[in-house]
Chains A and B, each alone.
Chain A
Amino acid sequence: MAIFRFLVRRILTGIVVIWLVATGAFFLFFARPVATVAHQLAGRAATPQVINTVISNLGLNQPILVQYWHFIDNLLHGNLGFSYYTGESVNTMLKQDLPPTISLVIGGLVLWLVVGLSVGIISATRPRSLFDRTSSVAVLVGLSMPVFVVGELLILFVFVPLNKHGFTWIQTGYAGISQGVVTWAGHMILPWITLAAVQAAVYTRLTRGQLLDTLGEDYIRTARSKGLSERRVIYRHGVRAALTPVVSQLGVDVGQLLGGVIVVEAVFGLGGLGQTSVEAIYTDNLPVIIGFVVLAATFVVVANIIVDLVYALLDPRVRIA
């Protein structure tokens, strides 16, 4: 039952964090002179009349705390407000943008974990081999590459030539699963590789380092001397221990993942949450941005809770804390 208490505590903390972030964003955006806010919302070329309409429609004249109260009230009902340009509810917009983002994140996550862990494990078990040295070089290069550069290079050297020669499976832009898994994958494969490339490098190095350290420990030597097969030694004992820092690194990365998602979506024109929010910046679409910020915070909090849970399952010492 310690796990249960643990979970409850984490969820409560998480809610507090989300609330703090929402509040922070709200005050950051709306606690400015009314005229500025209205001007921004109404659009750069708005006339004074339009601005006044905006002010009255949105109740920007009300005391800031009253506005805040409405905001929180809406939030609790799951209502993120309305976009001022299209009149669409932010909820609808974000919901539309969810599929590309989720496809990207899950695919990328799987890819980088698989590649990172396996290359890391193989490198650690064959240190100084050609494989190890090659992968070390690749890791170093991968660590140095900005995500969007990877994306652009992939488009330039993979997508463009392939398309020129009639091989059209790989495409930019997004196609939902409803259009066929193969098509979907064809659109997603380059984005996945892009998102995963740098992360895979990080995880490869991390796994390799942790595994090497673990394999040097005495209890591994004992296991070997007991006659356990090498494979068992590595996987049962070595990897298990090496996994915990990987999981905690995952927790840290989840937060930073958002940046990568936004960039990849921009490079490949996937039209997901990331791209929408960046566009919202250009158009000063405050509700959308706040919606995105709150959603992002929620995502980070949830992901962290999941990661913490996995960590607690892997490392019994943590559960008591």
Chain B
Amino acid sequence: MTVPLNANADVSGSADDDVLVRVENLVKYFPVRAGGLIQRTVGQVHAVDDVSLSIPRGKTLGLVGETGSGKSTLARCVAGLIPVTAGRVTFEGRDITNLSRRAMRPMRRSIQMIFQDPYSSLNPRRRVGAIIGDPFAIHKTATGSERKRQVQELMERVGLNPEHYNRFPAEFSGGQRQRIGVARALALRPLLIICDEPVSALDVSIQAQVLNLLADLQRDYGLTYLFIAHDLEVVRHVSDSVSVMYLGRIAEAGPKDNVYGSPRHPYTTALMSAAPAADPDTAASRQRIVLVGDVPSPIDPPSGCRFHPRCPKAQPLCSETEPQLEVKAGDPATHVTACHFPVKAGENLAAAGRSELS
């Protein structure tokens, strides 16, 4: 369960001891450059704008959002792949924000990543055995036949035939390639695995297999996952708690059942209504909330609440003041929402008129 955090909360000493990774007020801006010979910075892409979250050991935090919400950027900041503009990332209590490559290296044994595209996340010119064996080679934990043995063990564990040690990625299907990626991430028995849309590029039937594999591994090895996706159903399946991101900020966060059962943020509600429902009866009776307009550009985010241009419940206040992440009436302490006019139980947003504010 996530510990609720105010956007301005002071978190020192207030956390549970079993929090594995904590992100505090993370900000990541990318400069927009223009100009010929001498480039000047003419703007910033607000990819991640003051995000906080924490993940307890052995649990899975699902991070949901559309394209452009900043979730992939956030993942990479946590993994230390891109430098952070402001804020902090702590792992097992240690501050790992913007560590030098050298200092970060030992941390890399504990923090691993699984990537989205099975076709481009494996080097096509290298054999699978070498790819999975990379972590052993880099961190010098096993060599020669011992390394091969461990690699083949891993291959078996993720459901691959260890005889295929010398094959190239091209000879595997998409699902199998993701398994290779999982094996690679698992090699050094990490504590945290960041999964960046690991099943988005797979066929639905294969998705289930890979998700089940991930669940098994979590159980067997006590893994902690930061699971990023845009598919709500997938997130629901794997997560213990969920955070919804919109345009670089957290819109709503809380335990899975709370967020799915009673979403408070209009954006979350709209997302849920757009997800296909398996039961045709439910689907027919559900009202779709259609959001107007496109996701605004993160270079120039809307004032106040970032969602207000598309929100069916928007009021003048929404364009002026940024809402904070707070517990809304009737919710447990762990379920927070950033909205001035959260959705009440039973409220039908599809019927809500649009205010004059556009």
Q: Which residues of A contact B35 (CB under 8 A)?
A: 321
| A45 touches B (CB below 8 Å) | no
Q: Does B353 contact A (CB under 8 A)?
A: no
Chain A neighbourhood of B280, CB < 8 A: none
B13 close to A (CB within 8 Å): no
For the complex, what is the distance from the CA of A320 to the CA of B37, rounded to whole Å?
A: 10
CA distance A9 to B36 in the complex (A): 12
Q: Chain B at the A interface: mostly helix, strand, loop or mixed? A: loop
For residue A105, give the distance in angstroms from its CB to the closest CB of chain B.
31
CB contacts (< 8 Å) of A321 on chain B: these are: 35-37
Q: Considering the complex, give the chain B residue whose CB is closest to the CB of A320.
A: B36
CA gap between A321 and B35 in the complex, in Å: 6
- Beta-carbon contacts under 8 Å, B29-52 to A: 35-37
A321 to B39, CA, bound (A): 10
Q: A321 vs B37: C-alpha distance in the bound complex, in angstroms?
A: 7
Q: How far is the CA of A320 from the CA of B36 in the complex (A)?
A: 7
Distance A9 CA – B35 CA, assembled complex (angstroms): 14
Q: Mark B246-275 against chain A: 1 for CB-CB distance below 8 A, else 0.
A: 000000000000000000000000000000
Query: Which single residue of chain A is at the shortest CB-CB distance from B34?
Result: A320
Q: Within 8 Å CB of B37, what residues of A?
A: 9, 321
How distant is A312 from chain B, measured CB to nearest CB, in Å?
12
Interface flags for B116-145 (1: CB within 8 Å of A; 0: not) read 000000000000000000000000000000
Encoded as 1 (CB less than 8 Å from any A CB) or 0, chain B from 45 to 75 comes to 0000000000000000000000000000000
Q: How far is the CB of B64 from chain A (nearest CB, A)?
A: 34
Q: Residue of B at shortest CB range from A6?
A: B36
What is the CA–CA distance of A321 and B40 in the complex, to the nearest angstrom? 12
Within 8 A of B (CB), among A1-44: 9
Q: How far is the CB of B39 from chain A (nearest CB, A)?
A: 10
> What chain A residues lie within 8 Å of B36 (beta carbons)?
320-321
Q: Which residues of B contact A320 (CB under 8 A)?
A: 36
Q: How far is the CA of A321 from the CA of B36 in the complex (A)?
A: 4
Task: Type the 1/0 row for A296-321, where 1 means its CB is closer than 8 Å to any CB of B.
Answer: 00000000000000000000000011
Closest chain B residue, CB of each to CB of A321: B36
Alpha-carbon gap, A18 to B37, bound state (A): 20
Tell me, in angstroms, the Cα distance from A9 to B38 when the chains sit together. 13
Q: Taking CB as reference atom, which chain B residue is nearest A318?
A: B36
Residue of B nearest to A2 (CB): B36
Kindly report which residue of chain B lies nearest to residue A5, judged by CB atoms.
Answer: B36
CA distance A172 to B37 in the complex (A): 48
Q: How close is B108's CB to chain A, nearest CB, in angstroms?
A: 40
In the assembled complex, the Cα of A9 lies from the Cα of B37 at a distance in Å of 10
Q: Chain B residues near A9: list those with CB within 8 A.
A: 37
In the assembly, what is the distance between CA of A320 and CA of B34, in Å?
Answer: 10
Nearest Cβ in chain B — how far from A4, in angstroms?
14
- In the complex, A70 Cα to B311 Cα: how many Å? 77
Mark each residue of chain B from 3 to 38: 1 if its CB lies under 8 Å from any CB of chain A, else 0. 000000000000000000000000000000001110
Q: Footprint of A on B, CB under 8 Å?
A: 35-37
Q: List 5 A-B contacts (CB under 8 A).
A: A9-B37, A320-B36, A321-B35, A321-B36, A321-B37
List the 4 closest A-B pairs by CB distance, nearest first: A321-B36, A320-B36, A9-B37, A321-B37
